[in-house]
């Protein structure tokens, strides 16, 4: 690990201002960043600790939803009675991720910002446009069974690894931020993670120094909430395919998919097709897909997983 300096911020604005210096990054739980620093994939010169900020509460909003502070841990979020009652898909997605020990440390904002687990991103001996722009993508033509089938580009086929954000995408959450000037904004989660295009090293639409302060959930959607994660082993594994769904009694609803794209994947045309069944919805979700020979199985796997979700909802 390369040497770095460190400071603790006392306010969100102070934190945003402190990270303006070259090579500075925020740190909270550190469950992803510290691993990347040990491998010298991330080499920040200065860390700004935001763990002491008053951003660890879950509060109702005037619109009838919930506001989740950026520093709420995954464990606290998944165990909150309001989340368990009204946003079951979110609770289930969080519990499906990582391990209990990691969920005790991982924060809401940090979970959204976790970086890909593409093996070529982690292997500094291999070219990776996400790690070193312009170096190439060893995953294209390499071992890419776990990687993306849609939303990818000629520069990168890495997938977004998280579970929580997939559920937040189906719930239409918004990410709240503040910058060094104190200006705030709310970014729809649909627009928060970027597709790789020709700049895969830029993961999100955050501006430099912009600090996530919370995530807002709209009013509860009702219906049946399901999160199904298909993976190579029963725990502590990233998704080959994951399905987050909120389905109403009449068969209408919302669906988002993880494990297949550089961001949580949703297509509102697929939502409209849900009453027609899994095949119709999946054909819209994967319109324009570009799988590799190694990961083409993900497309029919996602359709079967969605069929299992719809069957579970029907039986509920």
pLDDT at residue 33, rounded to an integer: 97
CA 148 to chain centre: 14
pLDDT means per 10 residues in the chain (316 residues)?
94 94 95 96 97 96 98 98 98 96 97 98 97 98 98 98 98 97 96 98 96 98 97 94 96 97 98 98 98 98 98 91
The dihedral of CA 295, 297, 303, 309: what is its sign?
negative
Q: What are phi and psi of 61, to 5 degrees?
A: -100, 160
Is residue 116 a contact partner of residue 159, using CB atoms and an 8 Å limit? Answer: yes
Nearest residue to 162 (alpha-carbon basis) of 244, 42, 47: 244
- Look at residue 125 in the predicted model and tell me its pLDDT: 97
Interval 102-124: pLDDT, tens: 999 999 999 999 999 999 999 99
Query: How confident is the model over 64-74, as pLDDT tens digits?
Result: 999 999 999 99
Q: Which tokens go with 20?
A: 């303006």
Measured CA to CA, the distance from residue 99 to residue 238 in angstroms comes to 11
Query: What is the pTM (predicted TM-score) of this model?
Result: 0.97
**Sequence-distant (≥ 6) Cβ neighbours of residue 203 within 8 angstroms:** 113, 115, 193, 194
Query: Cα–Cα distances in Å, from 22 out to 27, 28, 44, 293?
Result: 15, 19, 9, 42
Q: Say whether 259 sits in a helix, a strand or coil.
A: coil
C-alpha span between 65 and 164 (Å, rounded): 17
**Rounded Cα distance, 164 and 103, in Å:** 11
Q: What residues contact 131, with CB distance under 8 A and at least 6 apart?
A: 41, 121, 124, 201
- β-partners of residue 244 are 227, 256
Report helix, strand or coil for 96.
Answer: coil
Q: Is the distance from CB of 53 to CB of 124 less than 8 angstroms?
A: no
CB–CB of 124/41 below 8 Å? yes
């Amino acid at each position: 690990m390369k040497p770095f300096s460190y400071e603790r911020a006392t306010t969100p604005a102070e934190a945003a201002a402190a990270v303006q210096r070259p090579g500075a990054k925020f740190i909270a739980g550190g469950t992803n960043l510290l691993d990347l620093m040990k491998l010298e994939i991330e080499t920040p010169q200065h860390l700004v600790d935001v763990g002491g900020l008053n951003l660890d509460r879950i509060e109702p909003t005037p619109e009838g939803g919930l506001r989740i502070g950026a520093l709420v841990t995954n464990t606290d979020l998944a165990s909150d009675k309001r989340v368990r009652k009204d946003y079951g898909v979110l609770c289930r997605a969080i519990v499906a991720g990582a391990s209990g020990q990691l969920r005790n440390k991982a924060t809401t904002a940090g979970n959204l910002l976790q970086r890909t687990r593409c093996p070529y991103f982690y292997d500094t001996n291999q070219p990776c446009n996400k790690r070193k722009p312009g170096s190439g993508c060893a995953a294209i033509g390499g071992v890419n069974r776990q990687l993306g089938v849609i939303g990818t580009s000629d520069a990168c086929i890495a997938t977004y690894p998280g579970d929580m954000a997939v559920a937040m995408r189906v719930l239409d959450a918004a990410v709240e931020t503040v910058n060094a000037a104190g200006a705030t904004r709310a970014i729809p989660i649909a627009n928060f993670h970027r597709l790789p295009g020709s700049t895969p090293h830029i993961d999100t639409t955050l501006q430099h120094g912009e600090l996530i302060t919370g995530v807002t959930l709209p009013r509860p959607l009702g219906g049946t909430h399901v999160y199904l994660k298909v993976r190579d082993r029963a725990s502590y594994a990233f998704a080959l395919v994951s399905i987050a769904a909120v389905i109403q009694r009449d068969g209408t609803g919302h669906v988002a998919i993880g494990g297949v794209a550089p961001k949580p994947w949703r297509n509102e045309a697929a939502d409209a097709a849900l009453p027609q069944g899994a095949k119709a919805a999946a054909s819209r979700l994967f319109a324009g897909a570009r799988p590799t020979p190694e990961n083409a199985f993900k497309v029919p796997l996602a359709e079967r997983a969605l069929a299992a979700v719809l069957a579970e909802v029907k039986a509920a």
